[in-house]
Amino acid sequence: MLKPLEKPRQRWQLSAYSLSGRLLLLTIGFVMISVALLYFPMVARYHHQLLDDRINSAELAILPFTEAPGEQLSERLRVQLLARAGVEAVILLGGGQHKLLGTEPDQVQAVYNAGETGLMEQIRDVIRCLFAPPNRTIRIDANMAQGRSVIVIANEEPIRIALFTFSTRALALSVFVSALTSLLVFISLYLILVRPMQRMTAAMIDFRNNPEDPSRILHASSRRDEIGMAERELSTLQHELYGFLQQKTRLAQLGLAVAKIQHDLRNILSSARIASDRLAASDDPVVQRVTPRLLDALDRAVALATNTLRYGRAEERPPQRTRFALAALIDEAASSAVPESGDVVVEKRVPRGLLISADSEQLFRVVLNLLSNARQALETAKTGGAKRILIDATRTNGMITIDISDNGPGIPPAVRDRLFQPFAGSMRQGGSGLGLAISRELIAAHGGTLVLVSTGSEGTRFRITLPAQG
């Protein structure tokens, strides 16, 4: 008996082993990566822009000094102009001259290039600037037109403060954008993937606790994606399993009922067998011709009832093979299944010398069942033509093939797919749907096959294939 399991609760499970927890961890990791991808390039470009601004401000500040009247400007004015530009000194190089404006410091603690630089170099400069000591003196190199260059000496503290303020805002903006995006992605993935998976998991566990309760079968949604397909496949699987269990239950109940009936039926058949023995002494020719068939039928019925009680289970006993003529068995089964006084004609094309090694009792039951089905189909057929059953047997490559066909109306399409399923393949009102299922089981025990070859408005054909030597 299956042990009931606790039904999982429909909530977020944020442990590291749950799907929600792993999804959250991945989202946080991707947030950190996206923040880094947004933050560092943005701050690096801003730092490079600050260096360019210092160069541009310095060029504007020294512009009056590069002209001829600029020589007449006082030193105090020069210092004021450089201070407004945020620099301490400017050095002009090129054209065979070296010109210093301002006071050259004793020591430069860092050198930056304001020209075209790569992103990695700019990121490195940002890190150097943010973690630099206060009031550090730096040098900024830049190229000008006509092969000249300019060198700016400045205090790094204003640049570092501006960079820190901007980086803080950029970091906050990057975190906000990334967190908002990640939150939306997480919620979307949770609603699209995680919650449906939890629903299917709960449905599977719920169905496992009591698979015989049809109310526990999952009701699939109308989604067209892979999740919807998985829900529909799970629902189909549960429906099929539920039907299979129902069949097993009916088989178990039928087995118990048959065992009870067969116990008393065996005694009744034995009494009928004794009474039938007296018919053999009758002088009536009809009685003399029919009595052997009646006795054989009663013997088979008694043997079947005895074997059913002996084994006490649904499986058939193993075949007890003997070697016998197939034509004689076909004649006996045809005479038992199709009355001579009826309007159904049986045509037999079985070679008289064709021998087969099989269990004659089990093979007789299979042929009898197929012939009875064919006769019943022909008797209910609404046709005015001849009603005919054809039995054809051949031997090819060590295999014996027995074809049993009729010219009836055929098998309905709704029945064909479950023709050999117990309780599901009945083609007539009141049928149990066990005949063909039992017949296929008996043939399979012989190492052969029983298949439906064709069916339609022109008739139906079944084929039995058995090894000629057991």
- Provide CB contacts within 8 A for 344, sequence distance 6+: 338, 375, 378, 379, 387, 388, 389
Q: Is the pLDDT of residue 290 over 90?
A: no
DSSP string spanning 252-285? Answer: HHHHHHHHHHHHHHHHHHHHHHHHHHGGGG---H
Helix 195-209 and helix 226-277: axis angle, to 10°?
20
E strand segments, 312-425: 322-325, 344-349, 355-358, 387-396, 399-406
Query: Are the beta carbons of 59 and 150 closer than 8 angstroms?
Result: yes
- pLDDT at residue 10, rounded to an integer: 46
| CATH class of the structural domain 323-467 | alpha beta
Q: Rounded to whole angstroms, how far apart are CA atoms 106 and 130? A: 23
Q: Count Cα atoms within 13 angstroms, Cβ side, for 415.
A: 18
Q: Rounded to whole angstroms, how far apart are CA atoms 408 and 386? A: 10
CA separation (Å) from 66 to 43, 75, 91, 103, 199? Answer: 34, 14, 12, 17, 79
Q: Count Cα atoms within 13 angstroms, Cβ side, for 267.
A: 4
* N-to-C CA span, the chain: 41
Span 317-348, pLDDT tens digits: 789 999 999 999 999 888 888 877 778 899 99
DSSP 305: H
DSSP bridge pairs for 155: 137
Q: Is the pTM of this model over 0.75?
A: no
Q: Where are the domains of the chain?
A: 19-183, 210-315, 323-467
Span 402-443, pLDDT tens digits: 999 999 888 888 788 788 876 665 555 545 567 788 889 899
Query: Are the beta carbons of 298 and 269 closer than 8 angstroms?
Result: yes
3-class secondary structure, 418: coil
DSSP bridge pairs for 113: 141
Q: Is the pLDDT of residue 71 over 60?
A: no
- Provide CB contacts within 8 A for 268, sequence distance 6+: none
Helix 19-66 and helix 157-189: axis angle, to 10°?
150
DSSP bridge pairs for 150: 92, 142
Q: How far is CA 250 from the centre of its chain?
A: 31
214-228, 235-249, 300-314, 402-416: segment of lowest average pLDDT: 300-314
Q: Which two tokens stand for residue 174?
A: 């990057």
DSSP 108: -
Q: Which two tokens stand for residue 189?
A: 């993935």
Mean pLDDT score across all residues of the chain: 78
DSSP bridge pairs for 396: 399
Q: How far is CA 386 from the centre of its chain?
A: 52
Q: How far is CA 168 from the centre of its chain?
A: 48
Q: Is the pLDDT of residue 252 over 80?
A: no
Query: Are the beta carbons of 13 and 21 closer than 8 angstroms?
Result: yes
Bigger pLDDT: 207 or 381?
207
DSSP bridge pairs for 222: none
- Spell out the long-range contacts of 4-11 with Cβ–Cβ below 8 A and sequence spacing 24 or more: 4/209, 5/205, 5/208, 5/209, 7/202, 7/205, 7/206, 7/209, 8/198, 8/201, 8/202, 8/205, 10/195, 10/198, 10/199, 10/202
Query: Are the beta carbons of 84 and 64 closer than 8 angstroms?
Result: no
Q: Which two tokens stand for residue 150?
A: 């300019």
- pLDDT at residue 30, rounded to an integer: 79
Query: Are the beta carbons of 112 and 87 closer than 8 angstroms?
Result: no
3-class secondary structure, 94: strand
The percent of residues above 70 in pLDDT, for the chain, comes to 74
3-class secondary structure, 464: strand
- pLDDT at residue 90, rounded to an integer: 81
Span 89-147, pLDDT tens digits: 887 777 666 667 777 777 888 888 887 778 888 888 888 888 888 888 888 888 876 66
Q: Which two tokens stand for residue 201?
A: 């998991």
Q: How many CB atoms lie within 10 A of CB 405?
A: 22
3-class secondary structure, 461: strand
CB burial string 456-465: b at 16+ within 10 A, e below: eeebbbbbbb
Q: Rounded to whole angstroms, how far apart are CA atoms 213 and 245? A: 10
Label residue 307 by pLDDT band (50, 70, 90). low
